[in-house]
Every structure is written in structure tokens, then in C-alpha cells.
Amino acid sequence: MDIVYLLIPLSLVLVFLIGAVFWWAVRRGQFDDLEGPAYRILMDDEISAKK
Amino acid sequence: MTADRASHVIPPSADCYHCGLPVPRGFVLSVAIDGVERLMCCAGCCAVARTIVDHGLTAYYRQRSALPLREDTVPAAVRELAAYEIAEVENEVARQDGEHAREATLMLEGITCAACVWLIEQRASRLPGVLAIEINYATHRARVRWDTRQTRLALILSAIAALGYRACPYDSARAELTRRRERDRALWRLFVAGFGMMQVMMYLVPVYVTTGEMTADVEQLMRIASLILTLPVVLYAAAPFFTGAWRDLRALQPGMDVPVALGIAAAFAASVVATLTGSGEVYFDSVTMFVFLLLAARYLEMTARMRAVTAQEELARPAPAIAERYTAWPAADSAMVAAASLRRGDYVRVRPGAAVPADGVVVAGESELDERLLTGESRPQPKRTGDQVIGSSFNLGSPLILRVTRVGQDTMLAGILRLLDRAAAQRPRIARSADRVAQYFVLALLMIAAAVAATWYHVDPSRALWITVAVLVVSCPCALSLATPAALAAATGALHQQGVLVTRGDAIENLARATDFVFDKTGTLTTGALRLIGVVPLGTGELKRSRDECLVLAAGLEAGSNHPIARALAAAAPAGIMCTEASTRVVPGMGVEGKLDGIRFRIGSAPFVAELHGHAMPAELEFVTDDVTMVALGDEHGWIALLTFADPLREHARHVMDELTALGKTVHLLSGDRPRIVAHVARKLGIAAQLGGVTPEAKVAYVQGLQADGAVVAMTGDGVNDAAGLAVADVAIAMGSGAEVTCGNSDVILLSNRLDTLLEAVRQARASLLVIRQNLAWAFAYNVVAVPLAACGYVSPLVAGIGMAASSTVVVTNALRLWRRAPPPQAAVARMLAPAG
């Protein structure tokens, strides 16, 4: 049962970490457009070398 | 996603490869795309396709899932872009963001699929000086940042336009930003509370389920962990309750935040003490949970509120930033200028598809305008020379040339926004009294809580704190305070969508309680514009003309005039027949004289025409001169025709009167017009109480007389000659024609000038009052049941939180029904067609 002395503080740290990551993601606008990026992955970013 | 899925679109080979429209015969424009020559339908498409190919962006054609919108206006759009070259326009639409960087939000038009987004992003991000561009596919808005040393907004916009899309700066970005920030913050608090709640539960469940096998220090560890997790919930998520309570206490006006804040603080403090001393119960789970529930209820209420203001937001949106001004009208030279720099008397051109930059009068052109946002009228409004146009309405037809009559803060749009602000700022009487009740309620509640605490302390000290907390939390003064404003906001928003502007908070309540409706005649029950009702050709022998010939002649003579009669004639003259050109001379107050083929013609009052030829008016026609306006037409030899005009009743007038009577209201007709005409109109509308030849003072006396008999009077007028009567009436309803809107004496404005919207307003007002009563009754009943239960110890703090949140939700949801009530026209038709019963 001694492991709980480690796991409980660890879970606390994780909670705050997850919260911080979510906060960062929302701030950066990761959830603003849920549709566009799905299509964007299909497009080539480079100029197609057309000769 | 398989590679062979044909998501891209290739039009049939005979059609334009870019836009899919058929290529005109004999048209041989083509562009080599990926090595294949593709046909183009026009130079515009050709230019766009070449731009795409030249920049190596042909992946667009492989990936697109929809054809682009056809942009005939590309050259015009490019010309418009020149305006953004002007420094002051750029300053207006772009924010300074760092020393050499600027940022602007753009509205993109013409985006049909995700490939368009890619195309624009690729093209724009390769422009020198563009630091970043982000396009939101869902909202079609782009955020662009650029280096002011290397590029300008105009260059970016023209690059986008060259691709065949239209980009324009998004004006109400700032308003939207604040709204979004408010929503984001609320959502964050909700998230923190919810996340904290779940984690705290996780730590406390083992404490509940295990029996004895957990050592004391593990349990203590769990409690400390819960305490740490509850801290952000109480300090951040619940902060609005504490600041609200503090504000209320400082103002010595206990509001609904006080008991909530007190409950949270007490529960939290007691739990902290229990944790630190290691004795007694902890209730971190209850604290986090009811913070979460309360925030959820608040969030719901906020969403409802925001929905009610969307109509206003829409109003602020279409105001265009630039205008095309003629530098020296009537010369054709024009220049793009900032709309803010327009002055009265300027001449501007409004292209089809563009918004009107300011209020004005049409001087040339004929078109249809969409005024839906301003008046709620969904049908396009035909406009021709001499008609008033409202700034921010949309030109749907052909180009119009306007003379600007009002700019900036004087425009109708600005007036409407001001009135809406006023309505929002005023707390209506019914809401104020509800607030007062809520205040007493809170005071009483605090006393009850103190009494409960004292009693339970003697009965069972261990339960005293939690029962007190439950009492504080379960009571719901929110429902009491929200009941009225939520309903009024929903009703106001729904009415505004139909073109009824409520400008005072009390108007809805008064309208619902009105017993007597007083109407003015001219301009209110009638359109206020003359209409041709009859033509009597009088010519004999060689002077004999057909009805249509008379009309064409009359319209031709009056063509240069802007008199109501001239406009009625222009509207009635048969289509397809060209009006005769005549050199005319207007004699004010009498009529018009014109010369045609060497013969002098006159149109106007009978004596004026008689003067020309010296014949007397045929005696048998004298009678028509009483309740209609009569105009004579003649030449040097005699009478040609007699034209009669009348002011027709508005659409729905009879229906509205009948419905009002059916609702148990008394309808009155008051008019300054001749008693015979008033009596005639009253008979046609089925109005029993009518009075003609009334002076403005007499109208005031009439209204006051009704009020003295205990009536609540709603008076409807067109805002100018009825001003005095409107001022004394309990509800002043004005027809929203033009300038009168801004006078601001009225409580309700029928923006679309349609009487049936008045009926809708009355129905909506009655429904609102009903909802308010339901809400108040519910709030009362809930508290009467819940508070005693909690005081007796039957309600745990957790259940109290749920009950309180549910109660607020019921109130807000009930109010939102008003929003949904407003029936769109189709629904009304469907109801009529549905079988009875």
C-alpha cells in the first residue's frame, strides 16, 4: 500500500499538467476549426514541380 | 480515405474548367493545367486559372470538392480594393500588433470547399511581408498578420481577389471578440469546476467504500489531495460568486450571490479546518459539485442572453467601410473613399451586391433592396428615383446612384442601435419589482439560515453546519431574479427579427395589458401614399383619348416632378408605353404645364386647368371631389380626363382590427382628416369608435379621457403629427418610416411598416407576460418547498446544488420558448392548411 504515497501526489501533478496542456491548446485555437485541418492534410504544401 | 475516391470535381469537357459554366460558342480561351489545355468561359476565369497555375497551385483542381462561385464582379472588386490603399481606411480596419506588424480579420466570400481555404492560405502566405494567415473554414473568416514595411492590406486583398474570392475587413470583429472572451472565460470556469469535481470524487470514493482497512495517514493524504484540487475550483471557478457577493454587500443590497458565496465559503472553510486538524467530516466533493452546477446554470443563462443579442450583432455587421463617391456629379468620375468620410449631399454609386454606405435618396437607377436586417421585411423592396434608401441595406438588382442625406450617427441604423441600447439599459418596472422581492427574499433567507444554524447547533452540533449550507444553497433567488429579464430579452429578440423594435423596457408589459388601441388614419392605417383609383376620359370628338393614352400623357407631364401624385401616376402608367417627352413648368400648389407638338397641356387642380381653355367642369362630375383627391387634365381646347387618387388602406388593416377586437381590445380611430372620410374608413375597418377632424390637442384629451376611465392605451401613429398623443399614451407605437424612427418618442416601432407585425407584437407581449408569471410562480413554489425541507435536514448540500441549478435552468428554458414562438410565415400557412381541431 506504500505505493499510494507516490501515486496520489503523482496523480495531482498529472491533473495540473493535463489542465495546463488543455489551456494551452484552447489558447492556441486548436479547437476553433474542427473541420478544415482534416482536409488540409490532403493537400501538398510544396509547389508541385511542374515542368 | 482511399486514394481513388473522386473527391475532386471536373466539369464536363464542354464547360469551363474553372467554374463549370457552359463555354459560349466560338469562345477559344484556354489555360494549360497540369499539361492539359482546359477551356475557359470568360476572361475572368481565365485570369484566375492562370494565377493559380502560375503560382504552382494546381493541386487545387485535383482536390476541390465543389466548383467556385462565379465572380462576374472581379474587375469591380479589384477596383474597390483601391480604397484600402488609403491609409485611414487601413488604420480603421487593422490593429497595430507590434512595431511593424498589423493584424486584421477578413471576411471571405466565395469559399465553397476546403480546397479554397488551402488555395488562399498558400497564395497569401507566399506574399512578401505576410507573417501569418489563418482561415477558419467553418466561419469563413481569416486572420492575417503582415509586416507594414513590406506590404499593405490592399496588396493582400488584391492577391486574394486575383484568385476569384472576395475578401473584406470584418468590421464588428471587436464586438465579437469581447463576446467570445466572456464566453471563453465562463467555459473555462466551468471546465475547472468540472475537472476538479471529478478528481475530488476519485479521491473520496475509496474513503466512502472502504471500511476500516485504510490507514489514517492514507486517508489524510487523500484529504490533502482533495483540498489542493478544490483550491482552484473555489479560488478561480467560484470567483464570480464571491466578487458578486462582495459587490452586493458593499452596496448593502444583498443579491442572489450572497447566500451562494456564503454557502461555498462556509463548506470550504469547515472542510479545510477538518483536514488540517484531522478531525470531522470533509465535503470537498459537495463544494466542487455545486460550484460546477451553479456555473453550468449560469452558462446556460448566458447563452440564452447572447442569442437574444445576435439580432443586434447582425445589425452592426453590414455597414460597409468604403463607398464609391462621384467627385463632381453629374460627371461620371468617381473615387473610392472611406464611408466615414461621406458628407451630406455627396453622390454615391451602389453596385449590385453591395451595401448602401449611408442613408440617401435615389437620384438615378432602379433596383431592389434587401432591408431585412433593418426592418425585418424579407421581401426585396423596389426602389426608384426619389425613394429613400436606408444605409446598410443590400442592393440586389442593378446599380443605383444616391444623394446622401444622413451620415454617421444620424443614420437610421445608428438611431436603431441607439434605441436598442436604451432599451437594454433600462430595467423595466416588472423586473425592478422582482429584484426588490428577491432582495427581501435574500434577507429573509439569511435570517432563516441563522435560525436554522442556531437550532441545529442545540439539537445536533455535528449536522448544524451542513444543514445551514444546504439551506443557503438550495434556495434559488436566481430563479426569482432571472424570471423577468430572461423572458423580456427573449421576447425582444424574437420581435426584432420580425421587424418590431422595442425601445423601452416597460413596453412589452404595457402592450400586454393594453385595453384600448388608438390608431391614426393617414400613414398608419393607410399607406400615406396616393394611388390612382380612377380615370375618366372627358374628351369628345377629336379630343377623345383612351384611358391609357390619358394616363401616358399625364405621367409624361408629371415625369419631372416628385409630387405624390406624380409618383402615383408613374406607378400606374401602363408598362411598355414610353412616356412623352415634354418641356414642363411646375406651378407650385396648382399643377404642371407642358408643351407637346405645339399644344399646351395642363394637369392639376380643376381651376388651374380651366384657366387654360375656359370651359367649366362638367356638372355631373362635381360630386367626386369629396373623399378622394381629384386631378384634371386638359389642353388649350378643353378637358381631356379626370384622374382620381386615394390613400389606400394598408395590407392587413382589416384583419388586424378584427383580431384586436377578438382579443377583447377596444379599437379607436382618431384622425385630423375630414370626418366623412374618417367615418368611411372606420366603416370599412369595422371600427365603432371613430372621430374625425381632431386637432393634436384633442387627441391628447381623448387619450387622457380613456385613461381616466381606467384604460391602458396603446396609440399607433406615424410619429410626426401624433407626437403629442403618443407622448401621453401608455404605449406609443410608431410606424417606422424613415426619419421618424430617430425621434425616439415611441416605445415600439414597426420597422417594416406592416400592421400585422403589431398583432404579432401584442401576441408576443401577452405570451411574455404569461411566461413571466409562470416563472415567478415556479420560483416561488420551488423555494416554498425546498427551503423547509433543507431546514429540516432532508437535503444534502449536493442535492441542494442540483435542485438550485435545475430551478434556474427551468426558468431560462421557459423564457427561451418565447424565442421559438415567433412563427415564420411558412409555419403560419401550414397551420392554416392543417385540419381543424
Q: Is the pLDDT of residue B832 over 50?
A: no
Model confidence band, residue B84 (pLDDT cutoffs 50, 70, 90): low
Chain B interface, best mutation among A1, A2, A33, by max B CB count within 10 A: A33
Q: Catalytic one among B257, B520, B730, B747?
A: B520
Q: Is the pLDDT of residue B58 over 70?
A: yes
CB-CB neighbors (< 8 A) of A1 in chain B: 215, 218
Residues A29, B134: C-beta atoms closer than 8 Å: yes
Comparing CA positions, the residue from B615, B607, B605, B622 lying closest to residue B639 is B615
CB nearest A19 (choices: B59, B114, B195): B195
Q: Is the pLDDT of residue B781 over 80?
A: yes
Q: Quick one: pLDDT at residue B202?
A: 84
Q: Any chain B CB within 8 A of the CB of A33?
A: yes
Q: Could you give the CA distance from residue B609 to residue B390 in angstroms, rounded to a whole number?
A: 38
Q: Any chain B CB within 8 A of the CB of A28?
A: no
Phi, psi angles (nearest 5°) of residue B104: -140, 150
Q: Which residue of B has its CA nearest to A10?
A: B225
Stretch among B13-22, B349-358, B435-444, B603-612 having the lowest mean pLDDT: B13-22
How do residues B592-614 score in pLDDT, each as one tens digit? 888 777 778 888 877 788 887 77
Q: Quick one: pLDDT at residue B6?
A: 41
Measured in angstroms, the CA of A44 and the nearest CA of chain B are apart by 7
- B residues 27..86 contacting A (CB < 8 A): 34-35, 55-59, 63
Residues A39, B117: C-beta atoms closer than 8 Å: yes
Which among B184-198, B244-258, B822-836 has the top mean pLDDT? B184-198
Q: Which residue has the higher pLDDT, B319 or B394?
A: B394
CB-CB neighbors (< 8 A) of B117 in chain A: 36, 39-40
Q: Which residue has the higher pLDDT, B558 or B449?
A: B449
Measured in angstroms, the CA of A50 and the nearest CA of chain B are apart by 7
Which among B167-171, B412-416, B447-451 has the top mean pLDDT? B447-451
Give the burial class of B485: count Cβ atoms within 10 A of its Cβ; 0-12 exposed, 13-18 middle, 19 or more buried: buried
Q: Quick one: pLDDT at residue B233?
A: 93
Which residue carries 407637346 as its cell? B596
Q: Is the pLDDT of residue B255 over 90?
A: no
DSSP, residue by residue, B320-366: -SEEEEESSTTSS-EEEEEGGG--TT-EEEE-TTSB--SEEEEEE--
Q: Is the four-CA dihedral B531, B536, B538, B544 of positive or negative sign?
A: positive
Q: Any chain A CB within 8 A of the CB of B218?
A: yes
How do residues B705-733 score in pLDDT, each as one tens digit? 999 998 899 988 875 567 777 778 888 88
How do residues B469-510 score in pLDDT, each as one tens digit? 888 878 766 677 777 777 887 788 788 777 788 877 788 888
Residues B117, A15: C-beta atoms closer than 8 Å: no
Beta bridge partners, B336, equal: B324
- B residues 89..128 contacting A (CB < 8 A): 113-115, 117-118, 122
Stretch among B249-263, B628-642, B646-660, B823-837 having the lowest mean pLDDT: B823-837
> Kind and range of the H or E element at B39?
strand B36-40
Q: Quick one: pLDDT at residue B328?
A: 76
Q: Any chain A CB within 8 A of the CB of B242?
A: no
Cell for B493?
429578440
Q: Is the pLDDT of residue B821 over 60?
A: no
Q: Quick one: pLDDT at residue B833?
A: 38
Q: How far is CA B357 from CA B153, B229, B319, B325, B797, in A?
A: 21, 55, 7, 10, 58
Model confidence band, residue B406 (pLDDT cutoffs 50, 70, 90): confident
Q: Which residue of B has its CA nearest to A38?
A: B114
Q: How far is CA B127 from CA A46, B85, B153, in A?
A: 15, 17, 11
Measured in angstroms, the CA of B221 and the nearest CA of chain A are apart by 8
Which among B140-144, B266-270, B579-583 has the top mean pLDDT? B266-270
* 3-state SS assignment for residue B797: helix
CB-CB neighbors (< 8 A) of B115 in chain A: 39, 43
Q: Which residue of B has its CA nearest to A30?
A: B136
Question: Stretch B555-565: mean pLDDT, rounded?
Answer: 72
* 3-state SS assignment for residue B338: strand
Residues A15, B118: C-beta atoms closer than 8 Å: no
Q: Quick one: pLDDT at residue B316?
A: 54
Measured in angstroms, the CA of A47 and the nearest CA of chain B are apart by 5
B147 flagged as catalytic: no
Q: Any chain A CB within 8 A of the CB of B177?
A: no
Instruction: Give me the half-sphere count of Cα atoms (radius 13 Å) on the Cβ side of residue B82.
Output: 11
Model confidence band, residue B299 (pLDDT cutoffs 50, 70, 90): confident
Mean pLDDT of chain B: 77
Q: Is the pLDDT of residue B226 over 50?
A: yes
Stretch among A11-25, B245-259, B309-323, B758-772 having the lowest mean pLDDT: B309-323
Cell for B681?
374608413
Which among B15-19, B427-431, B470-474, B540-544 has the top mean pLDDT? B470-474
Q: Which residue has the higher pLDDT, B703 or B533?
A: B703
Q: Could you give the CA distance from residue B603 to residue B607 in angstroms, rounded to a whole number?
A: 10
DSSP, residue by residue, B40-90: ESSHHHHHHHHHHHHTT-THHHHH-SSPPPP-TTHHHHHHHHGGGGSHHHH
Which residue carries 385630423 as its cell? B672
Q: Could you give the CA distance from residue B528 to residue B564 in angstroms, rounded to a whole number?
A: 10
Residues A36, B115: C-beta atoms closer than 8 Å: no
CB-CB neighbors (< 8 A) of A48 in chain B: 56, 58-59
Q: Is the pLDDT of residue B425 over 70?
A: no
Model confidence band, residue B826 (pLDDT cutoffs 50, 70, 90): very low
Question: What number is the ipTM of this complex?
Answer: 0.75
Question: Stretch B7-15: mean pLDDT, rounded?
Answer: 61
Q: Is the pLDDT of residue B230 over 90?
A: yes
Q: Is the pLDDT of residue B313 over 60?
A: no
Q: Quick one: pLDDT at residue B177?
A: 66
Model confidence band, residue B228 (pLDDT cutoffs 50, 70, 90): very high
Q: Quick one: pLDDT at residue B517?
A: 92
Q: Please give the DSSP secondary-structure letter assigned to residue B409.
A: G
Model confidence band, residue B138 (pLDDT cutoffs 50, 70, 90): low
CB-CB neighbors (< 8 A) of B118 in chain A: 39-40, 43
Chain A interface, best mutation among B2, B122, B185, B210, by max A CB count within 10 A: B122
Cell for B617?
367642369
Q: Quick one: pLDDT at residue B429?
A: 76
CB nearest A33 (choices: B136, B192, B195): B136
Q: Quick one: pLDDT at residue B217?
A: 82
CB-CB neighbors (< 8 A) of A15 in chain B: 195, 199, 229
CB-CB neighbors (< 8 A) of B137 in chain A: 33, 35-36, 39
Instruction: Sort strands B713-717 and B516-520 into parallel, antiparallel or unpaired.
Output: parallel
Model confidence band, residue B543 (pLDDT cutoffs 50, 70, 90): low
Q: Quick one: pLDDT at residue B389?
A: 85
Question: Stretch B389-413: mean pLDDT, rounded?
Answer: 80
CB A8 within 8 A of CB B225: yes
Q: Is the pLDDT of residue B65 over 60?
A: yes
Give the rounded distance of the alpha carbon of B476 from its chain centre: 33
Q: Which residue has the higher pLDDT, B817 or B579?
A: B817
Q: Which residue of B has its CA nearest to A40?
A: B118
Residues A35, B114: C-beta atoms closer than 8 Å: yes
Chain A interface, best mutation among B53, B120, B199, by max A CB count within 10 A: B199
Instruction: Give me the half-sphere count of Cα atoms (radius 13 Å) on the Cβ side of residue B23.
Output: 21
Question: Stretch B768-791: mean pLDDT, rounded?
Answer: 89
How do residues A9-49 score in pLDDT, each as one tens digit? 998 999 899 989 988 988 887 777 777 777 777 776 655 44
Q: Is the pLDDT of residue B767 over 80?
A: yes
Which among B22-26, B585-589, B809-813 has the top mean pLDDT? B809-813
Residues B225, A29: C-beta atoms closer than 8 Å: no
Model confidence band, residue B825 (pLDDT cutoffs 50, 70, 90): very low
Share of chain B above pLDDT 90, in %: 6
Model confidence band, residue B272 (pLDDT cutoffs 50, 70, 90): very high
Q: Is the pLDDT of residue B143 over 50?
A: yes
